[in-house]
Amino acid sequence: MITVALPKGALLSESIRLFKTVGLDFSAFLDSANRQLQIYDPTHAAKALLVRAQDVPVYVEYGQAQLGIVGYDVLRENNPQVARLADLQFGYCRMSVAVRAASPYRRALDLPPHGRVASKFVGCAREYFRSLDLPVEIVPLSGSVELGSITGMSEAIVDLVSTGRTLRENGLSEIDLLFKSTAHLIAHPLSYRLNSQNLHGYAEKLREATLQQV
């Protein structure tokens, strides 16, 4: 039986819809009355785990799930040892540098050397500013990153942006783009190499379903 790791949050409903197109129904996770974290497809051909988005590649890397769906941002941040099979073309967002709209900074290179940049995505932020050869102090936050800039604790933030509404409503504006992010299909490397539980077949069907919707 194949096990799939599905992400809580913004990618869940579209992930479930995609798996449904290939004959696997995990829609019980969309029932607000359901508190189960593991469910079976009605045909019992597969089961799914409902986990935090950041934990999807962990369950796949350690073999507790053979397939998973996760945002490219998580893959860039954590660089897990998983097989990356396909860009699923949904869940679009972007990783951006943002500052207070009233600040004088109009691009990342305008930021002062050794200034502070707040982010949940410490690895991505560090990699980006290193590529600019601009030394900054990365301040790790796990909550509302916007407050780092609003309160003046940091000159800028690096965060995931979808519509940009939250930034605008808090007086912030984007000044640079690190990368774009969409949902990706990943697999346990050894299981995929051995084609355990017909992983190749499932992956190909999911790719085809994605192409049909583009």
148 with 189, same domain: the answer is: no
Structure confidence at residue 214 (pLDDT) = 59
Residue 155: which CATH number? 3.40.190.10
48 with 102, same domain: the answer is: no
pLDDT of residue 101 exceeding 90: yes
Task: Tell me the helices (H) and strands (E) count for the chain, helix number first.
Answer: 8, 11
pLDDT of residue 69 exceeding 70: yes
Residue pLDDT, tens place only, 85-94: 999 999 999 9
**Which token pair is 188?**
């346990």
195 with 162, same domain: the answer is: no
pTM over 0.95: no
Task: Report percent pLDDT > 90 for the chain.
Answer: 93
20 with 124, same domain: the answer is: no
Task: Please state, in angstroms and rounded to a whole number, the distance separating the CA atoms of residues 146 and 168.
Answer: 10
pLDDT of residue 110 exceeding 90: yes
33 with 58, same domain: the answer is: yes
Mean pLDDT of 72-100: 97
Mean pLDDT of 122-148: 96
Sheet strand arrangement including 156-161: 137-140, 116-119, 156-161, 93-100, 172-181
Structure confidence at residue 197 (pLDDT) = 87
Domain that holds residue 97: 93-180
7 with 84, same domain: the answer is: yes
69 with 15, same domain: the answer is: yes
Task: Please state, in angstroms and rounded to a whole number, the distance separating the CA atoms of residues 101 and 94.
Answer: 19
- Residues in the chain, how many? 214
Structure confidence at residue 212 (pLDDT) = 78
Residue pLDDT, tens place only, 164-204: 999 999 999 999 999 999 999 999 999 999 998 899 999 99
Backbone angles phi, psi at 145, to 5 degrees: -65, -30
Structure confidence at residue 109 (pLDDT) = 97
Mean pLDDT for the chain overall: 95
Query: Looking at the 3D structure of the chain, how many domains does it have?
Result: 2
166 with 194, same domain: the answer is: no
Mean pLDDT of 120-126: 97
Sheet strand arrangement including 46-51: 38-40, 46-51, 2-7, 67-71, 183-187, 83-87
3-state secondary structure 43-108: CCCEEEEEECHHHHHHHHHCCCCCEEEEEHHHHHHHCCCCEEEEECCCCCEEEEEEEECCCCCCCH
Mean pLDDT of 151-158: 97
141 with 192, same domain: the answer is: no
Structure confidence at residue 211 (pLDDT) = 83
